[in-house]
Structure 1
Amino acid sequence: MFRHPVVIRVAHWVNAICLLVLLMSGLQIFNAHPALYWGKVSAFDTPLMAMSSTEDDPPKGVVTILGRTFDTTGWLGSSAGADGEAADRGFPSWATLPSDQDLTGGRSWHFFFAWAFVLNGLAYLFYGLVSGQLRFRVIPSRDQVRHFGASVWEHLTLRFPEGDEAKRYNVIQKLTYLVVLFVLLPAQVLAGLAMSPAMDAAFPFLLTLFDGRQSARTVHFVVAALLVLFVVVHVAVVVLSGFRNNMRGMITGWFVIERKVEPLPERTSTEAAS
Structure 2
Amino acid sequence: MKFPSRLPRQAIAAKIFHWVNIVSLFIMLTSGLQIYNANPVFGGRAGWHIPPIFALGGWLAGGRHWHFAAMWLFSLNLVFYGVYILVSRRWKHRFVSDKDIKALKLSQNQKRRAYAWHRIAYTAIVPILLLAIFSGLGMYKPAQFPWIVDCFGDWQALRIVHFATVPIVIIFATIHALLGRKVGGDRLLESMFW
Alpha-carbon contact 2:142-2:148 (below 8 Å) kept: yes
Is 1:179 the counterpart of 2:124 in the alignment?
yes
Give, as a single letter, the amino acid of the residue that structure 1 aligns with 2:99: D
2:4 aligns to what?
Answer: none
Matched residue SS, 2:56: coil
Deviation at 1:170, TM superposition (A): 1.5
Larger mean CA deviation between 124-133 and 202-211 belongs to 202-211
- Among 114, 133, 152, the alignment partner of 1:189 is 133
Give, as a single letter, the amino acid of the residue that structure 2 aligns with 1:23: L
Q: Deviations over 1:52-86 (max 9, x none)?
A: 87xxxxxxxxx7xxxxxxxxxxxxx3xxxxxxxxx
Counterpart-to-counterpart distance in 1, 2:145 and 2:45: 34
Deviation at 1:130, TM superposition (A): 0.8
Is 1:22 the counterpart of 2:28 in the alignment?
yes
Give, as a single letter, the amino acid of the residue that structure 2 aligns with 1:123: F
TM-score (norm 2): 0.83
Tell me: CA distance 1:235–1:96, structure 2 relative to 1, closer, same or farther (3 Å).
Answer: farther
Residue identity over aligned pairs, in percent, reads: 28
1:110 aligns to what?
Answer: 67
- Among 165, 171, 176, the alignment partner of 1:223 is 165
Deviation at 1:93, TM superposition (A): 2.3
Q: Deviations over 1:243-272 (max 9, x none)?
A: 5312332135xxxxxxxxxxxxxxxxxxxx
Structure 1 gaps, min length 5 = 36-48, 54-62, 64-76, 78-89, 253-274
Q: Deviations over 1:28-62 (max 9, x none)?
A: 10011113xxxxxxxxxxxxx33787xxxxxxxxx
Counterpart-to-counterpart distance in 2, 1:18 and 1:112: 9
2:101 aligns to what?
Answer: 145
Alpha-carbon contact 1:18-1:113 (below 8 Å) kept: yes
CA RMSD of aligned residues (A): 2.7
TM-score (norm 1): 0.61
Tell me: CA distance 1:172–1:133, structure 2 relative to 1, closer, same or farther (3 Å).
Answer: same
Counterpart-to-counterpart distance in 2, 1:174 and 1:92: 36
Alpha-carbon contact 1:139-1:174 (below 8 Å) kept: yes
Structure 2 gaps, min length 5 = 1-6
Counterpart-to-counterpart distance in 1, 2:143 and 2:190: 47
Tell me: CA distance 1:171–1:25, structure 2 relative to 1, closer, same or farther (3 Å).
Answer: same
Is 1:96 the counterpart of 2:55 in the alignment?
yes
- Among 16, 22, 25, the alignment partner of 1:10 is 16
Give, as a single letter, the amino acid of the residue that structure 1 aligns with 2:50: F
Deviation at 1:146, TM superposition (A): 1.4
Deviation at 1:9, TM superposition (A): 1.6
Counterpart-to-counterpart distance in 2, 1:137 and 1:117: 19
Larger mean CA deviation between 201-210 and 7-16 belongs to 201-210
1:44 aligns to what?
Answer: none
Deviation at 1:204, TM superposition (A): 3.4
Deviation at 1:229, TM superposition (A): 1.7
Which of the two has greater helix per residue?
2
Which of the two has greater strand per residue?
1
Structure 2 counterparts to residues 120-139 of structure 1, below 5 A: 120-139=77-96
Q: Which structure has the bigger radius of gyration?
A: 1
Is 1:251 the counterpart of 2:193 in the alignment?
yes
Alpha-carbon contact 1:194-1:213 (below 8 Å) kept: no
Tell me: CA distance 1:14–1:190, structure 2 relative to 1, closer, same or farther (3 Å).
Answer: same
Give, as a single letter, the amino acid of the residue that structure 2 aligns with 1:248: E
